Amino acid sequence: MRKIPLPLCNNEAGFGLVSALLFVLLISAAIAPLAIAGRVQTLSTAYTHDRREFEILADGLARTIYVLDADERTPTRRQRCETEHFVFYVDIQDQSGLVDLNSASGQLLEFGFRSLGMNEADAVAAATLTERYRSPSGGDATDLEGNPVDMKHAPFEDVSELADIIGARAFGKSQVSRVFTVFNKMDTVALKHVDDSLRQIIEEGRGSEFVADGAGNSSVSEITIVRLRKGRPSGFMLKAMMERPADLSDVPRMQRRDVSVVEEGDRLPSESRRCGGVAELLLRNYDS
């Protein structure tokens, strides 16, 4: 039998190996997207389920906490509650403790903008623009960065409209909603519900006439519930504006609600209080 030259055998073996490797690579290239798509689909399904579960439970928690908190001597403010599997942040902001964009005077508006961190000059300018924005007349204007403002010349409907006034350097809506509202309807803030930083600025500015001592609860409050699952970098946040009916036997009405993704440390209270009262009672057995 004639022997095949050794170089030819080596070449054919090498070619066969390369062909086999190419085949494996082609199969891997075809399978990898399917595996990734399956993983993404699994993660997407888990996310959708987790979010939907939170929305249903948080809606019920928000309504219940709002009703029961009305009988509490101390309002539920920025509490951090922990269970076996979750960390919760719960806050109820009575709107009487915020500066009303439609009814507040220029001085109180200035105090509000200063509590956001503006210097005095910018706070005065922002307060003036706010008054012109809501006034039926007032002409054209520019924001704090010199850009033209499309003046509404009508009452504010939402605090997000402040972005039209304070420009691109605007603070986030979550931060603004801790100072301003459209539901107070007064030129004062209730001492019982005002944030400490805003109260301090008002006192430093000798604006004691803007703080209503002894004022009770208003009919509108914003409920914030954040849920973070331990071991995960993100969670969900529900913000719901609740209105208490004139007839206390009626069910409170949820005027608006928003569910968003929140990261640990993002937009969460830097100084949270110990969990207690209504929040502790309702969340104690959340895992079960």
Residues 118 and 134 in one domain: yes
Residues 107 and 178 in one domain: yes
| Alpha carbon 274 to chain centroid, angstroms | 21
Percent of the chain with pLDDT over 70: 75
pLDDT tens readout for residues 168-215 = 555 766 788 889 999 999 999 999 899 888 999 999 988 889 999 876
pLDDT tens readout for residues 67-112 = 888 777 677 888 888 888 888 989 999 999 999 999 999 999 999 9
Higher-pLDDT residue of 26, 143: 143
Residues 177 and 208 in one domain: yes
State the pTM of this model: 0.76
Domain count, the chain: 2
Confidence of residue 115 (pLDDT cuts 50, 70, 90): very high
pLDDT tens readout for residues 240-259 = 999 988 776 778 888 888 98
Integer angstrom CA distances of residue 230 from 78, 82, 287: 19, 10, 12
Residues 152 and 226 in one domain: no
Residues 173 and 81 in one domain: no
Residues 127 and 207 in one domain: yes
Residues 57 and 118 in one domain: no
Give the relative orientation of helices 120-134 and 106-115 as an angle to the nearest 10 degrees. 130
- Is 116 inside a domain boundary? yes
User: What is the spatial distance between Cα 39 and Cα 256, in angstroms, rounded to a whole number?
Assistant: 35
Confidence of residue 24 (pLDDT cuts 50, 70, 90): low
Minimal CA–CA distance to 186: which of 230, 233, 218?
A: 218
Compute the chain's Rg from CA coordinates. 29
Residues 169 and 253 in one domain: no
pLDDT tens readout for residues 38-72 = 554 555 677 788 888 888 888 888 888 888 887 77
In 95-231, the DSSP E strands lie at 99-100, 141-142, 148-149, 180-181, 189-190, 211-212, 220-229
Residues 159 and 81 in one domain: no
- Confidence (pLDDT) at 240: 92
- Confidence (pLDDT) at 219: 87
Residues 175 and 205 in one domain: yes
- Confidence (pLDDT) at 100: 97
- Is 37 inside a domain boundary? no
Strand 79-82 versus strand 86-94 pairing type: antiparallel
Q: Domain with 60 in it: what CATH number? A: 3.30.1300
Residues 208 and 222 in one domain: no
User: What is the spatial distance between Cα 57 and Cα 71, in angstroms, rounded to a whole number?
Assistant: 22
Contact criterion met (CB below 8 Å) for 212 and 189:
yes
Contact criterion met (CB below 8 Å) for 111 and 210:
yes
Higher-pLDDT residue of 111, 278: 111
Q: Residue 239 belongs to what domain range?
A: 53-96+218-283
- Is 17 inside a domain boundary? no
Residues 90 and 226 in one domain: yes
Integer angstrom CA distances of residue 144 from 36, 51, 176: 48, 38, 16
